[in-house]
């Protein structure tokens, strides 16, 4: 695999909504390149005829009835960790400049 550049790191940070200092960009570039170098060992593994696995106990389509269940939570309890609340709504910064 090609080595990640500073621009690649900045692009990833942007995709992940993660602010990074210039020192962190340099640090993560080196570390990610080392880690990706290690996991590149998988490239040569023969997996012909095999399907990927994401669920290990074989469960498929676990469903439940689509009905409201009252767990007894108070609205105020559910909102107590919200940084900014107005009229029981979560208040955020403007989205469009």
Partner 1 sequence: MAWDSIATIAAKVNAGEVKAVDLVEQSLRTIAEKSSFNAIIATTEDRAKERASQIDAAIAAGESVGRLAGVPFIAKDNFLVFGGETTAASNILRGFEAPYQSTAINRLEAEGAICVAKANLDAFAHGSSTENSDFFTTKNPHDETRVPGGSSGGSAASVVLDLAPFALGTDTGGSIRLPASFTGCVGYKPTYGLVSRSGVVAMASSTDVIGPITTSVEDAAIVLDVISGKDELDSTTIEKDAQGYVVDAPGSLKGKKVGVIKEYMGEGLNPAVKENIVKAIEAMKAAGAEVSEVSLPSLPLALAVYYIVCPAEVSSNLSRYDGQRYGYTKQDAADLNDSYIGSRELGFGKEAKRRIMIGTYVLSSGYYDAYYRKAQTVRTKLINEFAAAFEQYDVLVGPTAPDIAFKIGENAEDPLQMYLTDIMTVAVNLVGVPAISIPAGTIQDMPVGFQIIGKQRSDRELLAIAAQTEAIL
Residues in contact with partner 1 by the rule CB under 8 A: 1, 4, 9, 12-13, 15-20, 24, 28, 31-32, 34-36, 38-39, 41-43, 45, 47, 50-57, 59, 62, 64, 71, 73, 77-78, 80-84, 90, 92-97
Q: Minimum distance between the CB of residue 7 and partner 1, rounded to whole angstroms?
A: 13
Name the DSSP class of 83. Answer: S
Element (H, E) at 71: none
Compute the least distance from the CB of residue 68 to partner 1, in Å: 14
CA distance 47 to 56: 18
């Amino acid at each position: 695999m090609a080595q990640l550049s500073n621009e690649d790191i900045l692009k990833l940070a942007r995709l992940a909504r993660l602010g990074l200092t210039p020192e962190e960009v340099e640090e993560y570039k080196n570390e990610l390149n080392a880690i990706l170098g290690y996991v590149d060992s998988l490239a040569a593994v023969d997996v012909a005829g095999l399907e990927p696995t994401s669920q290990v106990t074989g469960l498929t389509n676990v469903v439940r009835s689509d009905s409201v269940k009252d767990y007894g939570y108070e609205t105020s309890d559910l909102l107590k960790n919200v940084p900014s609340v107005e009229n029981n709504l979560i208040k955020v910064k403007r989205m469009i400049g």
